[in-house]
Structure 1
Amino acid sequence: MKIQYLLTLLIAVSPLYLLMAQIEDKKKIIEKGAELIKVQDGFSFTEGPAVSRVGDVYFTDQPNNRIHKWNAISDEITVFKEDAGRSNGMFFMLDGTLISCADEENQLWAIDDAGKEEVLVSAFKGKKLNGPNDVWVRPKGGMYFTDPLYPRPYWEGIRGDEKEQDGEHVYFLSADRTELFRVAEDLEKPNGIIGTPDGKYLYVADIGAGKTYKYEIREDGYLINKELFCEMGSDGMTIDHRGNVYLTGDGVTVFDMRGQKIAHIPVPASWTANVTFGALDRKTLFITAMDAVYTIRMKNRGVW
C-alpha cells in the first residue's frame, strides 16, 4: 500500500504530469498525444521566431547578439548571424529577406540569406525611434512594426524613460520603402503584432494596457475600425489558418476569431516571449521562452 501511494504521489508531482495536466484545449487544436519538447537551452533570452519558406525557424538570442536557425528536418540549431544588431522581433518576406527589429541602434533591418544587413529605417521625422520590437509583413507588401520603449543597458545617451519620439506607436513602411508613417498613436505600449494571411486585418497587443486590438487594413496601409479583441496583452504573437490568435507571456494562450479563449499551453519558464509555426507543414508550434526554445505539434497549421 505504501509503495502504491508513493508511486501515485510521484506521478502526481512530476513536472511532465503537472505540465500536461494544465494544458487547456477546448477546440482540440493540439495534436493528440503531443507533448511540449525542449529543443535546446543555454541561451540568455530567446525572441523573434520567424519561419522561412521551407519551414526552418530563425530566432534571436538578444543579450548575446545572435540570430540562430532551427532546422525543421534535423532539429538542429546553428548560428545564422553574429553581430545581429540586438535583433528582437523578425519576419520573413516572400522573397526570403528576413526583416529584423534591430534595436541596438533603434533600427529596422533587412537581412539577406548570407546574413548581410541593410538598414530600412533609422529614424522618424529626424528623430530616433524608441526601439522597434516586433514586425509583420503584409502579403501585398509593406510592413507594420511596433515601437515601444524598453531602455537597454547597451544604449548610449538614453537613461530611464527618456525618448526622442512623443510616445510609443505603431508604424507602417510602404512596399517601395519611400513612405513611413504612424498608424496607431493611442496605445500605451504596443508590442506583439500579426496580420491575417489575406492582409485584411491586423492584431496589435498593447502589453502596457493588457489588451489586444484588431484593426481593418486599408489599401494605403492606414488602419481603421479599431476594436478590442481580448483583455490580454502579449509579447509576441502568431495566427493559424483558422484565424486563431496565439498570445504569449504566461505560456501560450490561444483565442478564436471572436476573441474567446480556447486553449492554454503552459511553458516551464518565467516568461514566454514569442511564438510561430514552423516545419514544412506549418504544424509545429515553435516557442521562445527565456533561455530555451520549445516545440509542440498542432492540428491546425500556421500561415506564411
Structure 2
Amino acid sequence: MKSLHKVAILLISAMFTNSCNSKEELIAEGANLTLVADGFKFTEGPAADAEGNIYFTDQPNNRIMKWNVEDKELSVFMEDAGRANGLFFDKKGNLFACADANSQLWKIDEDKNVSVVVGEFEGKRMNGPNDLWIAQNGGIYFTDPYYQRPYWEHSKQPIEKERVYYLSPGENVPAIAAEDLVKPNGIIGTADGKILYVADIGDNKTWSYTIAEAGNLHNKSLLTELGSDGMTIDERGNIYLTGNGVTVFDHTGKQLLHIPVEKEWTANVTFGGKENKTLFITAMDALYSLEMNVKGQY
C-alpha cells in the first residue's frame, strides 16, 4: 500500500509540474511578442537592474542602451562600451560586461567608472569573453569562445581551448571551470548557486553542472541537444535558450515552449520589468518583450 501511495504522489506531482509549465501557464493570457525598440545594428546581452530596467548592447555601434520600464524611454547608457556582449548586474548594482574590444571582463559602477576585472589568463590575452553569470556570493562564471573580429589586430586564437572560467569573490585571477567544450557561449546558473547551465553552441548542446562549495564544476550532464547564444532562467527553474527564437526547457530537458521571433537570429534573453515578469529578447536590430506568468530567478 505504501508503494502504491508513493507512486500516486509521484504521478500527481508530475501532472502538476507539467500543467504548471504549459504554454498557457508560462505566458500571460492574451500576451503577444511586442517590439520595444529597433534600428540598432545587432542587439545582445540584456540584463535587468534592481528596478527592472533593461540594459542591452548594440555591439557593432559600441554602446550600451537602457530601456526605462517606468517611463518606457530608451537612452544611451554608455558610449565606447568596449564592444560589450553579455551583461550581468551584481547585488551591489555594478554592471559587469564582456568587453569584446580587448577581450576583457569589465566592471561598470553606478557612476559609469570602468575597471578591468579580467584581461588575460596565464599571460595570454583572453579569446573573447562572451557571456557571464554572477552567483549570489559574487563568484563570476564566464565563457571565452573565439570569434574573430574585424577590429582586432591579431588573427590567431590566443588561448588554444575555448573554456568556461570562474573568478572567485575578491580574486583577480580566473580559474578554469570547464574546458571539455567546443565553443561555450550562453551561461546561466540557479539562484541557489547549485547548478550552472552552459550552452556549447559549437556542439549544439546545453549542459548542466553541479557547483561545488569552492566553485568547481562537477557532474556534467546533458540538458538538451540544442546550443544557445544567450540564456536565462525563471523562478520554476525553466531554462530559456536562444537562436531560432526562444526555446524553453524544464530542468529535466523536456521542451515546454517555443517562442518564435521573426528575425534571422535571436541572440539573448532575460527577465525584467517592475514585477520581473516581462521577458526581454534581443534579436538582430531589435529589442522585444513578452509578458509572462512566471518571474525570473533574479
- TM-score, length of structure 2 as denominator length: 0.92
1:173 corresponds to which residue?
167
- 1:267 maps to 261
> In the TM superposition, what whole-angstrom CA distance separates every residue of 1:118-159 from its partner, at most 9, and x where no partner exists?
00000000001110000000011210000000111111122x
The SS at the match of 2:232 is strand
8 Å Cα contact 1:128/1:165 also seen in 2? yes
Partner of 1:224: 218
CA distance in structure 2 between the partners assigned to 1:43 and 1:178 by the alignment: 34
Range 239-248 or range 113-122, more displaced: 113-122
The equivalent residue for 1:277 is 271
Q: Is the 8 A contact 1:120 1:177 kept in 2?
A: no
2: distance between equivalents of 1:25 and 1:287? 20
Q: Work out the CA distance in 1 between the residues paired with 2:62 and 2:111.
A: 17
Q: How big is the shift at 1:230?
A: 0.6
Aligned to 1:156: 153
Alignment-mate amino acid for residue 34 of structure 2: I
Runs of at least 5 residues in structure 1 that lack an aligned partner in the other structure = 1-23
Cα distance change on mapping 1:221 and 1:233 into 2, 3 Å: same
In 2 relative to 1, CA 105–182 (structure 1 residues): closer, same or farther, beyond 3 Å? same
Cα deviation, residue 27, structure 1? 5.7
Q: Within 5 Å, which residues of 2 pair with 1:208-223?
A: 208-223=202-217
Cα displacement (A) at 1:106: 0.5
CA contact (8 A) 1:240 1:302 kept: yes
Q: Deviations over 1:153-210 (max 9, x none)?
A: 111122xxx2121210000011102441111011000000000010100000000000
How much identity, in percent, do the aligned residues show? 58
1:107 correspondence with 2:101? no
Asked if the contact 2:118–2:172 (Cα under 8 Å) also holds between the matched residues in 1, the reply is no
1:59-98, aligned counterparts within 5 Å? 59-98=56-95
* Contact 1:25 1:264 survives alignment (8 Å): no
| Structure 2: gaps of 5 or more residues | 1-20
- Provide the residue aligned with 2:13 in structure 1: none
> Which residue identity lines up with residue 138 of structure 1 in the other structure?
A
**Alpha-carbon separation, structure 2, partners of 1:254 and 1:199:** 20
Q: 1:52 aligns with which of 49, 54, 57?
A: 49
Q: Tell me which stretches of 4 or more aligned residues in structure 1 moved more than 6 Å.
A: none
Partner of 2:199: 205
Question: Size of the alignment, in residue pairs?
Answer: 278
User: Structure 1 residue 36 and structure 2 residue 33: aligned?
Assistant: yes
Q: Provide the aligned C-alpha RMSD in A.
A: 1.1
Tell me, in whole angstroms, the C-alpha distance in 1 between the residues paired with 2:113 and 2:71.
Answer: 25
SS in 1 for 2:120: coil
Tell me, in whole angstroms, the C-alpha distance in 1 between the residues paired with 2:112 and 2:258: 35
Q: SS state of the match for residue 60, structure 2?
A: helix
TM-fit CA distance, 1:25: 5.3
State the 1:103 CA deviation: 1.0
Of 120, 132, 152 in structure 1, the residue corresponding to residue 117 of structure 2 is 120
